[in-house]
Amino acid sequence: MAPPPDPAFTRILLKLSGEALMGELDYGTDPERVAAIARQIRGLHDRGVEVAVVVGAGNIYRGMAGAAAGMDRATADYMGMLATVLNALALQDALEKDGTHTRVQSAITISEVAEPYIRRRAMRHLEKGRVVIFAAGTGNPFFTTDTAAALRALEIHAEAILMAKNGVEGVYSADPALEPDAQFIERITHMEALERGLKIMDSTALSLCMDNRLPLYVFNMDDERNIDRIVSGDRVGTLVST
């Protein structure tokens, strides 16, 4: 069999929503799903691609839900950020069991369990072949982990964000679960996605990507071959670029 082509990227940032870690469960992390993600990350790493990961927390807690229930929004958002730390540790555990060296860096200081976020140190870890998991989002309420993904990707000079989705192949003209006629979109600009209000990532995050010409690959994480295909330069899912 021919060896895989040289990877199309040297450094990428993988955005995993909390739901990506939840599998078929209603809440929390599904160990099998997390192990499957760890294997895919190892595959990337084995091909020499430097991988940073931003994890969400929708499987545990979202600030908006707390605010809707009458909590102070900032307090609820801090709870959401702390919930991302739980997911980061679950992913770290699965990666290390699978033989991949990792570091978790948290935007909220929590020094017993994770390093603080230090940009240059994160980049050094990546150069040394460690997978860096960024936890606690941006460290600021009123933001999301999508914005954290855009921000960290730019800070560490990642060449692209790989946005993992579950159950959908990429971006559609409307929510395919609600509108069966929704059209799959293979390629789109950030600007058009913003104008059409397509649900790729929130508008703050998408604007940040647009302003800095950072491409996004939106793909279905349920197919374990997809990440490898994207890194091989194959057309998979939706490409959002300028």
Q: How many residues bind ligand UDP (CB under 6 A)?
A: 23
Residue from 229, 93, 98 nearest 170 by CA: 229
The interface with ligand UDP within residues 124-143 (CB under 6 A) comprises 137-138, 140-141, 143
Residue from 95, 92, 88, 93 nearest 40 by CA: 95
Minimum separation from the CB atom of position 205 to ligand UDP (A): 9
**Residue 106: CB atoms within 10 Å:** 24
Q: Does 241 bind ligand UDP (CB under 6 A)?
A: no
The interface with ligand UDP within residues 66-85 (CB under 6 A) comprises 77, 80-81, 84
Q: Which of 145, 156, 206, 231 binds ligand UDP (CB under 6 A)?
A: 145
SS3 104: strand
Q: Does 144 bind ligand UDP (CB under 6 A)?
A: yes
Q: Does 201 bind ligand UDP (CB under 6 A)?
A: no
Q: Does 29 bind ligand UDP (CB under 6 A)?
A: no
Burial readout 145-180 (b: 16 or more C-beta within 10 A, e: otherwise):
bbbbbbbbbbbbebebbbbbbeebbbbbeeeeeeee
CB closest to ligand UDP, residue no: 56
Residue from 154, 165, 120, 141 nearest 15 by CA: 165
Residue 8: alpha-carbon gap to chain centroid? 19
Q: Does 23 bind ligand UDP (CB under 6 A)?
A: no
Q: Which of 52, 57, 160, 164 binds ligand UDP (CB under 6 A)?
A: 57
The interface with ligand UDP within residues 205-234 (CB under 6 A) comprises none
Task: List contacts with ligand UDP (CB under 6 A).
Answer: 17-19, 56-58, 62-64, 77, 80-81, 84, 137-138, 140-141, 143-148
